[in-house]
């Protein structure tokens, strides 16, 4: 077999001139990586798999080689390494060169379909078949809540059926949250309480509103208590985060446009998002819409108005909640908040405002829990490895409750803790804040006791 | 290695480490062709052993088959140290990353080679200890790699480099044995200091599978000062003034104007963009002393031409300054698509003239050269900025690098202070060592590695390994009368 | 031509009876003395010795000649006494380059004139040479704080039997080019080459010095105090633990059974704080801190104690800090001991008659935690002793290194570990 040439760019260029680069890959972004290796110790898949090809540096290198035609985008080994990435972007935080890993990864995924059958199925059903369609989503949400109301999770656990059914582990160990099949939609306007300080839009999201409707209510409450008029657009929109992170570029672009339209013309000071993955995605619309001349500029402007809920509230100056919640709470950094949006301190600051709440730190709070969008469905084994680390650190931290800021993380960690027999509920930062502002809904028993 | 040989060897290696951790797929080999240097070369097989015992077996299998072995941990080498230039087998330590023991009573820790430098200090911190050598890449580089290159870092000015902090090693020898040299004790009287000899041998003597390191109590307080100078020359003269003043700080780092721009673009560390050069100084110790030394040092800085001396007011500011400094190389990406970094050393007193000459090279060639370096040690890191996508630039930059190393050697210095000779500087080593010097070193290498299989193609110039050193015939006893005429110098 | 005839043709000079005695090593006397003028000269001379297969013992100040096994043979005394120049010294660089025959005291005086020093104090600095200090790895009392010889040598020029003069390291304080052959020659007892030149890094002299003396009824709390001090950030410059016999031999009188002497160095504030801290640690362990000054001769005597010029036997144990107590538990009552608890080093003067049994007991107490060697002994006593103990696990490599650099085995044959 003929050996491929090594990628000795520099000498090759001196000899043959500048190579042509595959369309669809922005080589300037790829070349930001100087392969120094500082990202390796922060990569969860490198820790699990020990293979350079499953490290951020290795992935950048492969994308560089593919862009230059040294390996093929549809090489199954290329696809395997590229789709084995959580895209948690911890490497971006570690990178001193400022490599936009997430953006490069999304470009690379857009160049090649996923290789494994499970991955293709998840895409067809979930990313393209369900999330973009409000009516289907509502039906799915109703079904989900109905099964909970019918105590299906307990049945699954007792029978052991969860171990073999698709999505069984998530159905058997659902998070604290909505279980009533019917729910009232959030009002189109929740008026500000006290002095009016801002007018904001709230993204209620797709999965978020079906599974964590109460969290949305409490987010709106927290915003209104802090003097915000909270506007919820009539059109149910999915922001396209899961599609975009998985490299489903067309779906993502379409959903981005729809989301921008939903919030347009409302004179909003900010669009507030309580799901980290969505917020991170919406802050990057300018990147996704770079090929759409009609929306490129609007995308830039829109991205600037997007704020994570805790980021927005802390920047505005949180009005102190009055109700005590005497709990030891650890905050789990959602990847797309800490790495994607560089929001690290604000959720902690918000939690510390709650009287009686003791914030403790777990080790590796900024490591991915393995949820990673649809990753826990497409790559369950690697996902489970990351979850096992997370559960160990949570138990070691001595926290009574875990707070996070993304529905995927809450589902995954909640499942992991319950399965491990730990009664440590996982809730959203906005849940705790909402309860502290007087909301009564859906607090897990340990929280209710702590509020007494 | 032909296909059949490779398959046979792969089969034997898989018997040791399992199918998943030994592979030869040409696609996957491409991921082990590089490190943090510009050099590349493809291996034949990659092995990821999980224990010292597995390493020993892997080494023996390769040695028996006369196949080259290159050890690789983080592959953060800036000199091509982990690039398998003679092909063969790459052994990586991604699975051997356990801290085996922390023995505070004896001020020792025992680690596997894949333990990340910073991870060790982080594990020690709650116990009140740390591991001193702190290469700028400490967030990624491993203790095993540090042993290979005798790594340094900003804080080695006062406390010494890797070799001063390693007391013992377990080595995997080509015979398949694991041999422990040195160990937990502070001092040694058990024959030659093989530990000291091995550290810095860049993988050419064998592979360390276990490392005993010294740990040290954390300083109670650290104070970081930033002194702002109008230009590089004034700043480098100030370095000598500080050293002469009788204070040896824990670190003295210098950054020139271009570096500051890159660092600030990357991390907003708080360096003044209008400075010609900045010195970053650190003193550590008990609070009262650190205050006194800080004031004395600030005074020396001002007297030596600093327009401003700023003291980091809290730990956050201090960390920001150091984060900026340690991320400086990677931050160069903000100024230019590519850079080429040198690692020359000159005596501290020769810093001003050497920097002036480097500047002259920059002016003459038109390539921008940044300087961000360990000024207290005289360890320069000139970074030549270029664009590899512009034909001709890379070759030109290599010539500039060579010229800079020649300058350092002529000033009485060295061609590498901490990155190692690796692949990149093996010809430059001749600027400081004669054939006789290298012949003695090669003779020693052959004691460990008679067949030239351990990281071949590194450290020594050319393909020096293939030619046997002149096995001096004069070693046979013979009559000496012919030279008795030299007698006049003997009394 | 026989060996004697070949040796006679070597340069240098035959020696008279008196000089022969001066260059005696254990029971053996040389027949010739070579005194090269510089490194090149030494290279030529050593090559001639190699060609003549004449066994060479390199001589510096002779202060460590009682260390090691008796040589197997000995024809040429290779003295570095003419190679005693300070070749380069740049105070602002904190580095210097010296010939190996330079005496420690001369070097320290040159450094002192610039307010600097080499923080290494081997025994008898008025006679000990730089080269001898390296070859014997002769460290003073400051090793716990300042490290050992290996931590201060940045370059070396060595003459090999092949006649090559080869360098390693360099003149700069940070340098990883090529192999670190400094480490190989330090402590090799001249069995791999003759050290011709040495480059050091040096340091500014400390602002102040102070001594603290404490005494204890039993050794255990004194050992614990010493090791606890070693784990403090403000570790002392030296800490020695002596029994009453050793104390008197070091020039102090007093009825104290166990004495812990601590030397503190550094900036004034640091020393002040360290004194308070050390006092606290000692008192907590049950020791009594003495007021008043200590005569300066004490530290000199303590430094020289382990390299006696007379026929005394010194056994040295080198162990991890946690194993010091085990060594003390087997010391015979009539032995005198001077330990450096912060460095895990215990020197014991024993009677010639009990040397073998003490050695045996100490070795079983140290098990595989450390080594026990004979640091000094007269020839007659050495004969019955295993001076170095069991060769270490890496010994085959050491023997191969010896073979590679001194294939004819002319350098100090038989004196080193495992008969090297």
- Which residue carries 């003149």 as its tokens? C171
Closest partner residue to A36 (CB to CB) among B40, B118, B137 is: B137
The answer on C51 and C31 residing in a single domain is yes
A contact chains, 3+ CB pairs < 8 A: B
Name the percent of chain C in helix, strand, coil, to the closest 5: 35, 25, 40
Q: Hey, of A3, A6, A10, A42, which one would you mutate to test binding to chain B, going by the most B CBs within 10 A of its CB? A: A10
Mean pLDDT of B91-103: 97
Residues C409, C400: Cα–Cα separation, whole Å: 12
Retrieve residue B291's tokens: 């205050």
Q: Which of C10, C11, C73, C172 to mutate to test the interface with B (most CBs of B within 10 A)?
A: C172
> What is the distance, to the nearest Å, from the Cα of residue C235 to the centroid of all Cα atoms in its chain?
22
Joined tokens for residue A390: 């997370």
Unique residue bearing structure tokens 């875990």: A402
CA-only gyration radius of chain B, Å: 24
Exposed, middle or buried by CB within 10 Å (0-12, 13-18, 19+), for A193? middle
CA distance B386 to chain C (A): 26
Q: Are strands C56-59 and C76-79 parallel, antiparallel or unpaired?
A: parallel
Q: Do B246 and C115 lie within an 8 Å CB cutoff?
A: yes
**Same domain, residue pair C195 and C212:** no
Q: Token pair of C315, please? A: 């056994």
Q: What is the mean pLDDT of chain C?
A: 93
**Contact flag B444-C404 (C-beta cutoff 8 Å):** yes
Mean pLDDT calculated for residue range C304-317: 91
Specify the pLDDT at position A179.
66
Q: What is the DSSP string of A391-447?
A: HHHHHHHT-SEEEES-HHHHHHHHHHHHHTT----EEEHHHHHHHHTT--TT--HHH
- Please, which residues have CB within 8 angstroms of residue C18's CB and are 6 or more apart in sequence? none
Select from A404, A412, A319 the least CA-distant residue to A365.
Answer: A404
Residue C391 lies in a domain: no
Contact C6 B480 (CB under 8 A): yes
A239 contact B CB<8A: no
Distance between CA C376 and CA C304 in Å, rounded?
Answer: 12
Q: Where are the alpha helices (DSSP H) in C77-146?
A: 104-112, 130-136, 143-146
Comparing CB atoms, the residue among A10, A28, A96 nearest residue B394 is A10
pLDDT for B483 equals 39
Order of strands across the sheet with C76-79?
Answer: C13-14, C32-34, C76-79, C56-59
Across the range B364-385, mean pLDDT stands at 94
Q: Residue B476: is its pLDDT beyond 70? A: no
B31 touches chain A (CB under 8 A): yes
The verdict on B3 touching A (C-beta cutoff 8 Å) is yes
Give me C399's structure tokens: 């023997």
Confidence of residue B470 (pLDDT cuts 50, 70, 90): very low
Taking the alpha carbons at both ends of chain B, their separation in whole angstroms is 60
Restricting to C residues 343-382, those with a Cβ less than 8 Å away from any Cβ of B are 343-345, 369-371, 373
- DSSP 8-state secondary structure symbol assigned to residue C53: T
Please indicate, yes or no, if residue C185 is contained in any of the structural domains.
Answer: yes
Domain spans in chain A, listed from the N-terminal domain onward = 21-115, 320-451
Count of domains observed in chain C:
4
**Helix, strand, coil % (nearest 5) of chain A?**
50, 5, 40
Domain co-membership, C198 together with C93: yes
Instruction: Give A77's contacts in chain B (Cβ within 8 Å).
Output: 25, 27-28
Structure-block tokens of residue A94 = 């570690």
* Residue C414 belongs to some domain of the structure: no
Residue of C3, C114, C174, C239 to mutate, interface with B, max B Cβ within 10 Å: C174
Domain harbouring C32, CATH code: 3.30.43.10
pLDDT band at B246 (very low <50, low <70, confident <90, very high): confident
**Exposed, middle or buried, A23 (CB in 10 Å: 0-12/13-18/19+)?**
exposed
C 260-289 residues with CB below 8 A of B?
267, 269-270, 273
Does B119 contact chain A (CB < 8 Å)?
yes
Crossing angle of helices A56-67 and A76-83, in 10° steps, is 140
Residue B335: what are its φ and ψ, rounded to 5°?
-95, -25
Q: Tens of pLDDT along C332-387?
A: 888 899 999 999 999 999 998 899 999 999 999 987 778 999 999 999 999 889 99
Residue B485 has pLDDT above 80, yes or no: no
* Residue B65 distance to chain A (closest CA, Å): 22
Using a CB-CB cut-off of 8 Å, the residues of chain B touching A14 are: 391-395
Task: Determine the topology of domain A21-115 in CATH.
Answer: Fumarate Reductase Iron-sulfur Protein; Chain B, domain 2 (1.10.1060)
Cβ pair C231:B217 closer than 8 A: yes
The CA-based angle A84-A90-A93, given to 5 degrees, is: 150
Asked whether this chain's domains A21-115 and A320-451 adopt the same fold, the reply is no
C64 close to B (CB below 8 A): no
Return the number of CB contacts < 8 Å for B and C.
Answer: 317
Q: Is A190 helix (H, G, I), strand (E, B) or coil?
A: strand
Q: Which residues, at least 6 apart from C376, have a Cβ–Cβ distance to it below 8 Å? A: C66, C67, C306, C307, C308, C312, C313, C314
Domain boundary pick from C140, C174, C204: C204
Cα C61 from Cα C126, distance rounded (Å): 9
Q: What is the pLDDT of residue A164?
A: 77
Fold of A320-451: Rossmann fold (3.40.50)
Would you call C11 and B441 a contact, using CB atoms and an 8 Å cutoff?
no
The answer to whether residue C42 sits within a structural domain is yes
Sheet holding C153-159: strands in order across?
Answer: C86-90, C95-99, C194-201, C153-159, C165-169
Identify the pLDDT of residue B187: 59
CA angle C289-C295-C298, nearest 5°? 85
**Per-residue pLDDT band at B327 (split at 50, 70, 90):** confident
Is residue C214 located within the same domain as residue C277? yes
Chain segment B335-371, per-residue pLDDT in tens: 888 899 999 999 999 999 999 999 999 999 999 999 9
* C228 shares a domain with C291: yes
For residue C1, the model assigns a pLDDT of 64
> Taking CB atoms and an 8 Å limit, are C150 and B196 in contact across chains?
yes
Which of C93, C178, C224 is best to mutate for the B interface (most B CBs within 10 A)? C178
CB crowding A159-192: b at 16 or more within 10 Å, else e: eeebeeeeeebbbbbbbbbbbeeebeebeeebeb
| Alpha carbons B480 and C9: distance in angstroms, whole number | 7
Q: Do B388 and A53 touch (CB under 8 A)?
A: no
d(CA B181, CA B192): 10
Both tokens assigned to B109: 């820790």
Q: Which of C161, C162, C157, C118 is nearest to C140 (CA)?
A: C118
The predicted model gives B233-253 an average pLDDT of: 90
Please say whether the beta carbons of A94 and A39 come within 8 A. yes
Whether chain A has a CB inside 8 Å of the CB on B43: the answer is no
Residue B188's pLDDT is 67
Tell me if residue A334 falls in helix, strand or coil: coil
Claim to verify: residue C287 and residue C316 sit in the same structural domain: no
In this structure, what DSSP letter does residue B98 have? -
| Same domain assignment for residues C184 and C109 | yes
Say if CB A125 and CB A131 are below 8 A apart: no
Contacts with C370 from chain B: Cβ below 8 Å: 185
Q: Indicate the residue of B104, B164, B288 with minimum beta-carbon distance to C151.
A: B164
Task: pLDDT band for B489, please (50, 70, 90 cuts).
Answer: very low
Report if residue C406 sits inside a domain. Answer: no
Question: pLDDT digit string (tens) for B39-80?
Answer: 899 999 999 999 999 999 999 999 999 999 999 999 999 999
Which chain A residue has the Cα nearest residue B323?
A96
Verify whether the Cβ–Cβ distance A51 to B48 is below 8 Å.
yes
pTM, entire model? 0.92
Q: What is the DSSP string of B190-250?
A: SSS-HHHHHTTSTTSS-EEEEEEEE-EEPPSEEEEEEEEESSHHHHHHHHHHHHHTT---S
pLDDT < 70 positions in chain A: 1-12, 177-182
Domains in chain B (CATH in brackets) are 3-92 (3.30.43.10), 99-217 (3.30.465.10), 220-328 (3.30.70.3450), 336-450 (3.30.70.2740)
Question: Three-class SS of residue B383?
Answer: strand
Residue A350 CB partners (closer than 8 Å, separation 6+):
A310, A313, A314, A318, A429, A433
Whether B76 sits inside 8 A of A37 (CB atoms) is yes
* ipTM exceeding the 0.90 mark: yes
Q: Are residues C12 and C77 in the same domain?
A: yes
Using CA atoms of B472, B477, B478, B481 in order, give the dihedral in degrees to the nearest 10.
100
Name chain B contacts of A96, Cβ cutoff 8 Å. 266-267, 326-327, 329-331
User: Of C299, C324, C359, which marks where a domain is finished?
Assistant: C299
**Same domain flag for C121 and C133:** yes
The answer to whether residue C410 is domain-embedded is no
Cβ atoms C199, C169 nearer than 8 A = yes
Answer whether residue C417 is part of any domain: no
The SS3 call for residue C200 is strand
Burial (CB count within 10 angstroms: exposed 0-12, middle 13-18, buried 19+), residue A151 = exposed
Reported as a single tens digit per residue, the pLDDT across C218-273 is 999 999 999 999 999 999 999 999 999 999 999 988 888 999 999 999 999 999 99
Domain end among C299, C330, C350: C299
In this structure, the answer to whether residues C102 and C120 fall within a common structural domain is yes
* Residue C390 included in any domain: no
Range of the domain at C230: 208-299
Residue A199, SS3 per DSSP = strand
Per-residue pLDDT tens over the stretch B286-309: 998 999 999 999 999 999 999 999
Q: How many helices (H) and strands (E) does chain B have?
A: 15, 18
Q: Provide, as residue numbers in chain C, all residues whose Cβ is less than 8 Å from the Cβ of B293.
A: 267
Asked if A6 and B38 come within 8 Å (Cβ–Cβ), the reply is no
- B38: pLDDT strictly greater than 50: yes
């Amino acid at each position: 077999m003929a050996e491929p040439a090594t990628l000795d760019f520099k000498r090759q260029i001196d000899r043959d001139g500048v190579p042509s680069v595959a369309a669809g890959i922005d080589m300037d972004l790829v070349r930001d990586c100087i392969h120094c290796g500082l990202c390796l110790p922060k990569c969860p898949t490198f820790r699990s798999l020990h293979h350079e090809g499953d490290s951020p540096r290795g992935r950048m290198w492969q994308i560089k080689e593919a862009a230059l035609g040294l390996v093929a985008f549809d090489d199954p080994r290329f696809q395997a390494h590229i789709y084995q990435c959580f895209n948690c972007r911890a490497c971006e935080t570690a990178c001193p060169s400022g490599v936009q890993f997430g953006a490069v990864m999304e470009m690379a995924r857009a160049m090649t379909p996923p290789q494994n059958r499970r991955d293709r199925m998840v895409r067809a059903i979930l990313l393209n078949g369900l999330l973009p369609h409000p009516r289907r989503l509502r039906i799915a949400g109703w079904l989900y809540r109905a099964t909970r109301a019918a105590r299906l999770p307990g049945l699954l656990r007792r029978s052991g059926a969860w171990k073999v059914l698709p999505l069984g582990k998530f159905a058997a160990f659902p998070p604290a949250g909505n279980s009533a099949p019917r729910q009232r939609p959030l009002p189109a306007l929740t008026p500000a309480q006290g002095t009016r300080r801002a007018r904001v839009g709230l993204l209620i999201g797709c999965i978020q509103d079906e599974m964590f409707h109460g969290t949305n209510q409490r987010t709106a409450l927290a915003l209104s208590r802090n003097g915000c008029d909270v506007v919820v657009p009539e059109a149910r929109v999915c922001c396209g985060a899961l599609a975009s992170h998985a490299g489903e570029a067309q779906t993502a672009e379409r959903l981005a446009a729809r989301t921008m339209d939903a919030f347009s013309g409302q004179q909003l000071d900010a669009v507030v998002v309580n799901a980290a993955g969505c917020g991170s995605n919406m802050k990057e619309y300018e990147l996704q819409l770079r090929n759409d001349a009609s929306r490129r500029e609007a995308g830039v402007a829109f991205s600037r108005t997007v704020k994570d809920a805790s980021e927005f509230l802390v920047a505005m100056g949180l009005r102190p909640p009055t109700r005590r919640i005497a709990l030891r709470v650890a905050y789990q950094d959602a990847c797309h908040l800490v790495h994607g949006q560089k929001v690290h301190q604000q959720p902690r600051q918000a939690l510390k405002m709650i009287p009686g709440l003791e914030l403790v730190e777990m080790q590796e709070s900024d490591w991915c829990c393995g949820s990673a969008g649809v990753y826990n469905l497409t790559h369950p084994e690697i996902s489970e490895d990351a979850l096992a680390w997370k559960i160990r650190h949570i138990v070691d931290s001595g926290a009574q409750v875990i707070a996070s800021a993304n529905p995927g993380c809450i589902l995954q960690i909640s499942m992991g803790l319950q399965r491990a027999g730990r009664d440590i509920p996982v809730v959203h930062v906005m849940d705790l804040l909402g309860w502290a502002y007087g909301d009564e809904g859906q607090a897990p028993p340990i929280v209710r006791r702590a509020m007494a | 290695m032909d296909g059949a040989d490779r398959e046979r060897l792969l089969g034997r290696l898989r018997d040791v480490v399992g199918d998943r951790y030994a592979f030869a797929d040409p696609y996957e080999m491409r991921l082990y062709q590089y490190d943090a240097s510009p050099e590349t070369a493809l291996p034949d097989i990659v092995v990821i052993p999980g224990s010292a015992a597995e390493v020993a077996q892997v080494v023996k299998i390769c040695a028996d088959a006369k196949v080259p072995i290159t050890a690789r941990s983080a592959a953060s080498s800036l000199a091509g140290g982990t690039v398998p230039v003679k092909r063969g087998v790459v052994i990586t330590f991604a699975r051997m990353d356990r801290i085996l023991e922390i023995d505070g009573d004896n001020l020792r820790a025992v680690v596997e080679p894949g333990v990340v430098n910073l991870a060790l200090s982080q594990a020690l911190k709650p116990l009140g200890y740390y591991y001193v050598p702190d290469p700028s890449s400490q967030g990624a580089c491993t203790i095993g790699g540090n042993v290979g290159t005798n790594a340094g870092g900003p804080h080695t000015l006062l406390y010494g480099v890797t070799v001063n902090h390693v007391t013992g090693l377990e080595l995997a020898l080509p015979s398949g044995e694991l041999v422990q040299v040195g160990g937990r004790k502070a001092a040694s009287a058990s024959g030659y200091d093989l530990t000291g000899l091995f550290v810095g041998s860049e993988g050419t003597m064998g592979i360390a599978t276990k490392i005993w390191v010294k740990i040290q109590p954390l300083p109670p307080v650290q104070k970081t000062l930033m002194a702002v100078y109008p230009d590089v020359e004034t700043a480098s003269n100030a370095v000598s003034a500080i050293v002469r003043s009788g204070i040896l700080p824990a670190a003295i780092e210098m950054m020139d104007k271009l570096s500051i721009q890159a660092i600030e673009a990357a991390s907003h560390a708080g360096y003044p963009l209008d400075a010609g050069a900045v010195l970053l100084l650190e003193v550590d110790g008990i609070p009262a002393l650190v205050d006194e030394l800080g004031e004395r040092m600030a005074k020396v800085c001002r007297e030596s031409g600093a327009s401003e001396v700023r003291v980091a007011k809290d730990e956050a500011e201090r960390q920001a300054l150091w984060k900026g400094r340690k991320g400086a190389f990677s931050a160069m990406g903000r100024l230019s698509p590519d850079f080429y970094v040198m690692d020359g050393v000159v005596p501290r007193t020769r810093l001003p003239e050497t920097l002036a000459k480097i500047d002259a090279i920059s002016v003459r060639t038109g390539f921008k050269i940044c300087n961000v370096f360990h000024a207290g040690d005289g360890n320069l890191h000139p970074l030549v900025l270029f664009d590899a996508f512009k034909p001709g630039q890379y070759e030109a930059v290599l010539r500039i690098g060579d010229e800079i190393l020649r300058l350092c050697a002529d000033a009485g210095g060295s061609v590498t202070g901490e990155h190692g000779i690796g692949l990149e500087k093996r010809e430059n080593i001749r600027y400081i060592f004669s054939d006789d010097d290298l012949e003695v070193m090669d003779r020693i290498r052959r004691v460990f590695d008679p067949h030239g299989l351990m990281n071949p193609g590194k450290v020594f110039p050319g393909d020096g390994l293939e030619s046997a050193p002149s096995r001096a015939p004069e070693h046979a006893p013979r009559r000496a009368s012919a030279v008795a005429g030299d007698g006049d110098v003997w009394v | 031509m026989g060996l004697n005839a070949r040796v006679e043709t070597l340069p240098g000079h035959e020696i008279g009876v008196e000089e022969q005695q001066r260059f005696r090593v254990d029971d053996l006397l040389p027949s010739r003395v070579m005194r090269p003028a510089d490194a090149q000269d030494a290279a030529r001379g050593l090559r001639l010795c190699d060609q003549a297969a004449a066994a060479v013992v390199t001589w510096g100040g002779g202060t460590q000649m009682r260390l090691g096994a008796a040589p197997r043979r000995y024809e040429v005394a290779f003295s570095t006494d003419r190679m005693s120049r300070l070749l380069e010294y740049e105070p602002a660089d904190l580095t210097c380059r010296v010939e190996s025959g330079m005496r420690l005291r001369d070097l320290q005086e040159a450094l002192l004139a610039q307010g600097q020093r080499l923080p290494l104090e081997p025994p008898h600095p008025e006679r000990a040479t730089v080269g001898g200090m390296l070859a014997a790895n002769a460290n003073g009392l400051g090793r716990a704080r300042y490290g050992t010889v290996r931590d201060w040598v940045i370059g070396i020029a060595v003459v090999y039997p092949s006649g090559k003069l080869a360098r390693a390291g360099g003149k700069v304080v940070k340098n990883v080019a090529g192999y670190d052959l400094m480490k190989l020659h330090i402590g090799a007892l001249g069995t791999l080459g003759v050290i011709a030149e040495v480059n050091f890094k040096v340091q500014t002299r400390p602002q102040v010095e102070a001594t603290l003396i404490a005494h204890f009824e039993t050794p255990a709390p004194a050992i614990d105090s010493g090791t606890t001090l070693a784990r403090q950030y403000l570790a002392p410059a030296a800490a020695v633990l002596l029994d009453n016999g050793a104390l008197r031999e070091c020039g102090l009188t007093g009825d104290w059974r166990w004495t812990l002497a601590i030397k503190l160095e550094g900036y004034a504030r640091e020393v002040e704080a360290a004194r308070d801290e050390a006092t606290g640690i000692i008192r907590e362990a049950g020791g009594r801190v003495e007021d008043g000054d200590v005569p300066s001769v004490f530290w000199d005597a303590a430094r020289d104690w382990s390299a006696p010029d007379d026929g005394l036997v010194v056994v040295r144990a080198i162990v991890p800090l946690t194993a010091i107590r085990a060594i003390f538990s087997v010391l015979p009552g009539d032995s005198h001991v001077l330990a450096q608890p912060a460095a895990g080093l215990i020197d014991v003067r024993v009677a010639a008659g009990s040397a073998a049994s003490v050695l045996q007991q100490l070795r079983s107490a140290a098990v595989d935690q450390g080594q026990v060697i004979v640091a000094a002994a007269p020839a007659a006593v050495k004969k019955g002793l295993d001076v170095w103990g069991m060769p270490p696990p890496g010994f085959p490599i050491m023997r191969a290194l010896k073979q590679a650099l001194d294939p004819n085995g002319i350098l100090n044959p038989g004196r080193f570990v495992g008969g090297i």
